Structure 1
């Protein structure tokens, strides 16, 4: 996995701990994927199953992690794509904010 994914895994685990609401996957374009579930965040293969998949560029993802980018705004402006359970995506977005 890339250094970006590894750094994101560390940041997500520090911010979220475990995520007991379900399984989510972040796909960081041109970098890799991260699974988030009750075990926390970990680098994952793109083929891993999830209830919701969120896809964004490296810049958008890093902005969401550091608080510069609001996840809802990113979605509304097309910078964040959501496929699957929208309610779960909203819970994850709230946890990141």
Structure 2
């Protein structure tokens, strides 16, 4: 799945934390902004309550279940800036994408 497909799937599944903004920063691959305030998912870069930084390859491994999010965090493959509770809530949201 490429980034544009992921954005559309996240929009379709309402993959955001209600009332919060969470930015997924994939470095050179760009960002995805999960805007729970305006209920939309986009590739716009902007301020967010929480920023999650990870490599696209690691994101794909987490999405497929090959890499556990907590393991990724503990080993430094996933970095969280801002409100940590939003990142924890996002885990449940992302589980919906696997369904």
Secondary structure, aligned partner of 1:30? helix
Distance 1:62 1:15 in 2: 18
Q: Is the contact made by 1:13 and 1:41 (CA closer than 8 Å) also made in structure 2?
A: yes
Aligned length: 93
Aligned-residue offset at 1:62:
1.6
Q: Deviations over 1:40-75 (max 9, x none)?
A: 321112xx0100000000111122233332222211
> Paired residue for 1:42?
42
**Unmatched segments (≥5 aa) in structure 2:** none
Q: Is the contact made by 2:52 and 2:78 (CA closer than 8 Å) also made in structure 1?
A: yes
Q: How does 1:5-44 map to 2 (within 5 A)?
A: 5-38=3-36, 39-44=39-44
**Unmatched segments (≥5 aa) in structure 1:** none
Aligned-residue offset at 1:90:
0.8
Change (3 A) 1:41 1:69: farther
